[in-house]
Every structure is written in C-alpha cells, then in structure tokens.
Structure 1
Amino acid sequence: MPSSPKPPTPEELHHHVTKMGGRDPHEEHRTATPLELLFDLTFVIAFGLAASQFAHALAEGHYFTAITGFSFACFAICWAWINFSWFASAYDTDDWIFRVVTMVQMIGVIVLAIGLPRMFASIEHGGHFDNGIMVLGYVIMRVALIFQWLRAARQDPSRRQACMAYVVAITIAQIGWIVLIFIDFSLLVTFIMATALVVVEMAGPYIAERKFGGTPWHAHHIVERYGLLAIIALGEGVVGTVASLSAVVDGKGWTMDAGLVCIAGVGLTFAMWWMYYTIPSAHVLHVHRERSFIWGYSHMIIFAAIVATGAGLHVAAYYIDQKAHIGAVATLMTVALPVLVYVGAIYALYTYMVQEGDRFHVWLIAATLVVFAVSIAAAAAGINLTYALIVLMFAPIVTVVGYEFLGHRHQAEALERDLEKSGTVH
C-alpha cells in the first residue's frame, strides 16, 4: 500500500518573511493563489460601479458623460489590476508582509471605486473634473506597490535595475496624480495631464522588461490571471441580464419576452466567454515573452468592452421598464457597439499572437457584421427589442461555431509555423 503523505511542518505552515528572489518562470502547476482571488473581489465592486454609472448616463442620453467617465474609470481600474498582477506573477512570496501590503492595495481599489460616482457627476455638470477620491485610492495602491518593488530591488540584486525602473516610473506618475488632487484643472487640462502620466506609467514596464532584463513573470500564470479578470468583467453581463429580466417580469410577469431576455443575455455573455478562450495566449507567451506588452495592454480594451456590454444590457432594462430617455435603436447600440469592439479586439489580438492572418476570419467577420446589421435593422423597424437582442446574441456565436468547425485546425497549423520561425522546433 502507498505510504500516507507526511503532514506539513510548523515551518511550512507559518507565513514567515521570505526573500523576494523571484519566482521560477517555468514553475510547473503554477496557478492563481487564494490571495490573488481575494484581491480580484475588489474589482467586482469597481467594475460594478463603473458599469452602473455608465448605464445610467447612457439611458439618459448623456453620451459624452458616459463615454468620457467610463473610459477614465476603466483605465484606472484595469491599470491598477495589471500592475499588481504582473508583480505578483514575478515576486509573490505569500509571506505576511506581502499579504498585508496586498490588503493595503485592496483598500486603495475600494477608495478608487467609491470616487467613481463623483467623477461621473463632475463631467455631467461641467467645470471642475472631480477625480480626487479616485486618485487618492490610486495613490494608496501605488505607494504600496512602490514598497513591493523596492523590496524586490533590494532582495533580488540580479534584477535590481528592472525593479528600480518600475519604482522610478510609478513614483514620477504618482507625483503627477497627486497634483491632480489639489489643483483645480478643467476637463481638457486633466485629460492632457492624465495622458502624459499614462505614458510615464507604461514606460516603466517597457524599460524594465526590454532594457534591463525584465522580471520572472510566469506565462501560464499571468494568462490565467487575465482570464479570471475577464470572467469577473463578464459578471456584469449576468448582472445586466438579471436587471433586464426583472424589468420584464415586474411589468408583464413570466412571459415569452422574459424567457427571450434571459436567453439573449446569458447566451451573449457565454459566447463572449467562449470566444475569449480561442486565443492561444499561454502557449504563445511561454515561447514569445516579447509579445506580452501588446497582449497585456490590449486587454484593457477587451475588459472595457466586456463591462460595457453588461452596462448596455442594464440600459435595455431601463428601456423595457420605460425609464430610459433614448429610443430602441440607441438602446440596442449600447449593447451592440461594445460587442463589436470586443469581437474586433479578439480578432486583432489573435492575429497578433499567431503573427499571421487567416482568410477564414474574413468570412467570419463578414458574417458577424451581417448579424449586427440585422439586429439593428430589426430595432429600427420597430420589432420588439427583445427579438433584436436575440439576433445580436449570434454575433459572437458566429466565431465560436467557426472556431469549433474549422478554426481550431487553422490555429494548430499557425502555431506550428510560428514555432518553426522562432527556431523552437526543427
């Protein structure tokens, strides 16, 4: 009989201080930790508040407020998550210091989320761009992250230059963000300054990873982390579906419309999830670490499109409940446009990752655009919005069916050619 496994020792059970020497980028069976999953819960709140404010502004027909506020909110949320996740992939020690500092970063995310309604309201009313609370939360997160990078720089001498590149970029950016708290700038000036600060923040990872040897992030682990955030973002689609379904049931009871709304919302969300995992991210990043920048940053568009789709479903709930100040076509567009952006981003990222085009994709994209056109035409013709949503649901399904029918073979062949070009296989 096999011997029983030995119980862990007290030393193994204790979260004592551990040297940040960097994780093994080829570590087997590396998965997301319970702490990372707990950290992600704060982003459920952040995405939820951003989607709620976005949906309300869209339903009122205040498109400038909606798009400007949502864009700013999504960047702040996604960028905060991205910085922590890549650091944790490289230097997660899971000792008590790492855990406590992560808790501080979670507090920063909550503070940032609380500031979202005030930021949207300030855009709505014009004048001063009130992002003070958001920036305060951002600074809390960043100060904690600077501490982590300084710790890594001290304890991992071989990668000190890379770690300090992150420290310098984050510190410079934080000075700029703090200025935005205390000085009353107009929306235009704030936008210009924020753009400059974003460039500074993004320069840090580029310089660290390209010029100074980089950090030991784990390809399969980071891909799993991004996938988990995508699922969290897709949760807004479920929330929007429930809101729309509740509006139908409250007004008409359990009718055919109620069933169709449920099918449309869940089907759309499910198909977007399925479509996301057609990208061979882990396989490619394991071989081509240099493709991580485009892959990682482009996900901000993907995450924003997913959350916006959920917000659009919430706008549909406002419309069904006769609380929206926009028409059926505009309401459908609040769902259709984010889905269109999402589909386009997935195809673009897929093409970049495998480094070649696929003629089959042209046919799939064309079929997808036909689905978009039919759904919008249905709404414009006065057909029940519920039926238009059912048609729209098939937009991502086109890609799912195409991938399962033929696309998976094309992907395998493309990956094989990419490996041959890189010299990985002979």
Structure 2
Amino acid sequence: MRTNPVAGHWRTMMGRSSDEQHRSATSLELFFDLCFAVVVAQASASLHGTLTRGDFADGVLRFALVFFTIWWAWMNFTWFASAYDPDDVTYRLAVPVQITGALVLAAAGVRRAFEDRALRVITLGYVVLRTALAAPWLRAALSDSVRRRTALRSAAGVAMCQLGWVELLFVRSLFWRQSS
C-alpha cells in the first residue's frame, strides 16, 4: 500500500463552518498574538519616549501609523485563521514567516520609525508579513471553490495594501531627495 508523501504537508483548505462554536486558538495562533503584543509594547515604549521629550503631536502621529500597521496585519491574520484552519506543515511554516515580519517590525522598525523617521525597516517587516499572509489566501482560493472569490479578494487586498506601503516609502524617499 502506497502512502501519499504530500499528505500532512498540504491539505485541501475548506472554509470553516460559520455555525462552529467555541473554537479555541491553537498554540501557533497564541504565539502569533504574543509576538504582536511585543510589537505593540515596542510602539508604546517609543510613544512614551516622544511624549517624555515633549514631542506630543509627532509621537502620537507616529504611534497611530505604527499601531495601525500592527493592528491591520494582526486583524488580517485573525480573519484568515477564523475562516480556515488548515493545520498542516505548509501552514505551520508560513505562520513563522509572518511572525518574522512582525518581529522585524518590532525589533528594528518601530524604534527607527520613531527616532530616525525611517520607514525602510518597518516596511520590510510589513512586506515579509503581508507576503506570507497573501499566500495562504491564494492557497484557499485554489482549494475552496465556494469561497474562491472572497479568498482572491482577500489576497488582492493584502497585496494592494503592501504595495501601498512600498509606494509610500518610495514617494517619501523621492520627496526627501528633492528637498535636500
């Protein structure tokens, strides 16, 4: 009897039942949430630093930008996890890539966004995170014909948001280069 070498590594993803109740979060999802808590803590510490220096308007604006970035990425992951629960090797490898993007945001990007007004690293972390999030939505579109249109819209939305961040960085760098 032959076994399928892909079984367990790549499963067909079907949408979760909207009638499902009391689903608990997986350990991987809880770890992902914890990583986002670290990013929010980093942003909060940076906000505290700007407020302590008396730079209220700039600090609040930067915090709002960073927090929105963090919150939106976390919400998109949560929406996917609520819609699908593949729990296979492929998915378990994609989530740590998203976590890596979140930690790049936290460890290197947030501080630079506040202190140096540099968005390159935070954008890099966001691109890593968002690319790894668009892939499962595309995978869901391939697997789930009933929800294919929604999955494709979600993947497109994630990609367009990511492109917007890259464009913002590009436009900002052109503006600063011309005004120097």
What is the TM-score normalised by the length of structure 1?
0.38
Match of 1:115, as an amino acid?
G
Aligned to 1:121: 115
Residue 359 of structure 1: aligned partner: none
Q: Do residues 36 (structure 1) and 29 (structure 2) align?
A: yes
User: Where does 1:359-398 land on structure 2 (aligned, <5 Å)?
Assistant: none
The answer on 1:61 being equivalent to 2:49 is: no
What is the SS of the residue equivalent to 2:18? coil
Give % identity. Answer: 39
CA distance, structure 2, for counterparts of residue 79 and residue 167 of structure 1: 14
Structure 1 residue ranges without an equivalent (≥5): 1-13, 123-128, 188-426
Radius of gyration: which is bigger?
Answer: 1
**Alpha carbons 1:132, 1:180 under 8 Å: kept:** no
1:157 lines up with 2:145 in the alignment:
yes
Note the residue ranges of structure 2 that are not aligned, 5 or more in a row: 1-6
* 1:221-261 deviation per Cα after TM superposition (whole angstroms, max 9, x unaligned): xxxxxxxxxxxxxxxxxxxxxxxxxxxxxxxxxxxxxxxxx
Q: Which residue of 1 aligns with 2:122?
A: 134
Distance in 1 of aligned mates of 2:155 and 2:21: 29
The separation in 1 between residues aligned to 2:119 and 2:28, in whole angstroms, is 29
- Inter-partner Cα distance in structure 2 for 1:166 and 1:50: 27
Q: Show the counterpart of 1:109.
A: 102
Q: CA deviation at 1:185?
A: 5.2
Higher RCO (Cα < 8 Å, 6 or more apart): 2
Instruction: Summarize deviations over 1:97-120 as a string: whole Å, max 9, x none.
Output: 111100100000011112111111
Corresponding residue for residue 70 of structure 1: 63
Distance 1:180 1:36 in 2: 30
Aligned partner of 1:57: which letter? T
2:164 is the alignment partner of 1:176: yes
**Which secondary structure does the structure 2 equivalent of 1:71 belong to?**
helix
Q: How far apart, CA to CA, are the structure 2 residues paired with 1:60 and 1:51? A: 14
Q: Which residue of 1 aligns with 2:3?
A: none
Q: Which residue of 2 aligns with 1:17?
A: 10
Counterpart in the other structure of 1:166: 154
Moved over 4 A (4+): none
Question: Equivalents in 2 of 1:65, 1:24: separation in Å?
Answer: 45
Aligned to 1:97: 90
The alpha carbon displacement at 1:133 in A equals 0.7
Name the SS of the counterpart of 1:157 in structure 2: coil
After superposition, residues 20-419 of structure 1 pair within 5 angstroms as: 20-113=13-106, 114-122=108-116, 129-183=117-171, 184=173
Aligned to 1:219: none
Query: Which amino acid letter does the alignment assign opposite residue 115 of structure 2?
Result: A
> Aligned partners of 2:95, 2:28: CA distance in 1, in Å?
8
How far did 1:15 drift? 4.4
Does the 8 Å CA contact 1:57/1:66 hold for their aligned counterparts?
Answer: yes
**RMSD, aligned α-carbons:** 1.8
Report how far residue 65 of structure 1 moved. 2.1
Partner Cα separation in structure 1 for residue 174 and residue 67 of structure 2: 21
* Higher percent of residues as helix: 1
Match of 1:68, SS state, is: helix
Cα distance in 2 for residues equivalent to 1:163 and 1:144: 14
Q: TM-score, normalised by structure 2?
A: 0.86
Amino acid at match of 1:92: D
Inter-partner Cα distance in structure 2 for 1:107 and 1:161: 29
Q: Deviations over 1:319-368 (max 9, x none)?
A: xxxxxxxxxxxxxxxxxxxxxxxxxxxxxxxxxxxxxxxxxxxxxxxxxx
